[in-house]
Structure 1
Amino acid sequence: MIAIVDAADLYYKSIVYIRPITHMDIRPPDLALLVSLNALLQENNVTRAAARLHISQPALSAQLARLRNLFGDPLLLPSESGRGMVPTPRALALRDGLRESLRQLEAAVRDPESFDPARAERRFMVAANDNVVTMFGIELVRRIAASGGKGLRAGFCEPNLDGIVARMERGELDLILGAVQSIPPQLRAVPLSSERYVMAQRRGHPRGTRAPTLKQFCALGHVLVSTKGDFHSFLDQRLGELGQKRQVVVVVPHYNLVPTILANTDYVCTLPIRFLQKFEGQLDIFKLPFDLPEFAIAMAWHPRSEHDAGHRWLREQLKSVQL
């Protein structure tokens, strides 16, 4: 229903407010409208753009009417599907240049040298799965809480790589934390740690506390983490190369479910040691009876944030996180 109201409202304004102009005259009060136009051209939807700008939908519709009058062009027209809007050729010509100009303006007015976490008002958003949040994010939250200020907030979301570079370019995300090979090449990245896989079981497991042989390892019931529900992973491929096969009996979508499952069963798991050491009071940890390559966890950010003082502070907190 919202999409229908948007379409009718925009169509009405496209008829009433457009006037032909022969000279572009952008006055200082009109500059704020360009911020709204940028949001509209990124979202192609009045409702979503208004939410992004933290203003009401009618207020943004009124601003769009003024923009149409200013540019002498409809800029955005209702989609034939009835959902969202379609930019005109004039709007498409404006989109990239406007976004870059606003970014430069933002950089020009920001103090690049000053960031006081005790006084700053800032929200940091980090894309990471729960494994990496457990390994690095909890300590980051502790450091933010210890910074002395009440204006800092931290959020974590799933690292969905589809469109993630564009989200970082728009300033919606500050960092990605994940395996270095998964980092998009458009981003700048530095490694945080080198990780290795180990096996874990609950304290008091009936098999005892001796490291398992390869045969014993494969005979145990294993818990596997897979967001897709797969019962096979790179580890099973490696065991196949050795002529072995393990018994995967439980698959879960989140890493933090594994310690609870191990605590209530005689199953085992193979996960990064830094993650499992967070639960060492509940688990016994063993070296694997076969070789697996180590892997690096990295943090990555968009080049637009390279010289931002607050972003630099955030990166320094993560780089100094230790076990």
Structure 2
Amino acid sequence: MDIRPSDLALLVSLNALLEENNVTRAAARLHISQPALSAQLARLRELFGDPLLVPSESGRGMVPTARALALRDGLRDSLHQLEAAVRDPETFDPARAERTFMIAANDNVVTMFGIELVRRMAASGGAGLRVGFSEPNPDGVVARMERGELDLLLGAAQTIPAALKALPLSSERYVMAQRRGHPRGMRAPSLKQFCALKHVLVSGRGEFHSFLDQRLKDLGQQRQVTVVVPHYNLVPTILANTDHVCTLPVRFLQRFSDQLDIFKLPFDLPEFAIAMAWHPRSEHDAGHRWLREQLKSVEL
């Protein structure tokens, strides 16, 4: 048997014929004329070398041959799988979905947005819904999204690759934090007091200098950075057990408000936006739209 690509549509007609066992009803279901379907049945008989359907002895409808019966279940299942593969679902049911979402974000952003996302997924999602977070790598994120390995990138808006679609999630500002009961008291620090304190800095490269230190240099000042850690979530623990302070985004530090006191900085730093970004290939995917909606509505 030699089925050409142009003959594949005939299998849809054969499936309808085998389910209806009646040419008239199958033609109505396929929205074609009865003579057109009869012509297709003739072509199918030629392809399979079998009558496939023969007139019923009762004179009503058709009866499938043994060859047709052998084809029926496999043909029906294959067409259902094909339909599911090409169908664009209009809705996404997290309680029933079998899906893993992968998000690239550092631990600062995961703390600010990922925790609430995990809570929402636990509340509305079933056992088949999962989320994974990985370290962001702007140089490779577009390729990972193209390969379907990554769904979202969360990070500072200015770092989002131009090839991705992006949406701001929040506007962030920097503040200073210290432990509850810090011996220096509860007054906001002056610039001189700020620089005299011992600071914790986050740097994946172990550097003791950041954009904030450059800003202080421009003001003719210098702070004491005495501890550098690679991850943001280490900072609250260090602050809670020492007299060190830190300067980090307020949204992050407010997650630890039971341990830390927060103060306005004694100098100006520009605010910055946290955004989520995704590949255009995912724009209309119902599950992806659901994921983006969850993040858009996250509040501290």
- TM-score normalised by L of structure 1: 0.67
Residue 198 of structure 1 pairs with residue 175 of structure 2: yes
CA distance in 2, matches of 1:227, 1:253: 4
Q: CA deviation at 1:147?
A: 0.7
CA distance in 2, matches of 1:236, 1:112: 51
CA distance in 2, matches of 1:26, 1:162: 46
CA distance in 2, matches of 1:107, 1:300: 27
Within a 5 Å distance, the mapping from 1:110-149 to structure 2 comes to: 110-149=87-126
Match of 1:264 in 2: 241
Within a 5 Å distance, the mapping from 1:73-222 to structure 2 comes to: 109-222=86-199
Number of residue pairs matched by the alignment: 223
1:295 corresponds to which of 247, 272, 276: 272
Q: CA deviation at 1:264?
A: 1.1
Q: CA deviation at 1:26?
A: 11
CA distance in 2, matches of 1:264, 1:249: 15
Measured on the aligned residues, the alpha-carbon RMSD in Å equals 1.9
Deviations 1:76-131 (A, max 9, x none): xxxxxxxxxxxxxxxxxxxxxxxxxxxxx999714231211111100000000000
CA distance in 1, matches of 2:125, 2:156: 32
Deviations 1:199-232 (A, max 9, x none): 0000010000100000000000000000001100
CA distance in 1, matches of 2:103, 2:214: 31
Distance change in 2, residues 1:229/1:139 (3 Å): same
Identity among equivalent positions (%) equals 86
Deviations 1:225-251 (A, max 9, x none): 000011000000000010000000000
Aligned AA for 2:122? A
* SS of equivalent residue, structure 1 residue 113: coil
Match of 1:308 in 2: 285
CA distance in 2, matches of 1:240, 1:26: 76
Match of 1:320 in 2: 297
CA distance in 2, matches of 1:183, 1:192: 13
Distance change in 2, residues 1:107/1:220 (3 Å): farther
Deviations 1:249-292 (A, max 9, x none): 00000000000000111000000000000000000000000000
Within a 5 Å distance, the mapping from 1:54-69 to structure 2 comes to: none
CA distance in 2, matches of 1:106, 1:292: 54
Contact 1:117-1:147 within 8 A present in 2 as well = yes
Match of 2:260 in 1: 283
CA distance in 2, matches of 1:231, 1:106: 57
Q: CA deviation at 1:193?
A: 0.1
CA distance in 1, matches of 2:170, 2:87: 32
Distance change in 2, residues 1:115/1:246 (3 Å): same
Match of 2:201 in 1: 224
* SS of equivalent residue, structure 1 residue 189: strand
* SS of equivalent residue, structure 1 residue 218: helix
CA distance in 2, matches of 1:140, 1:109: 29
Moved over 3 A (4+): 25-28, 105-108
Contact 1:112-1:307 within 8 A present in 2 as well = no
Contact 1:227-1:253 within 8 A present in 2 as well = yes
* SS of equivalent residue, structure 2 residue 124: coil
Q: CA deviation at 1:160?
A: 1.2
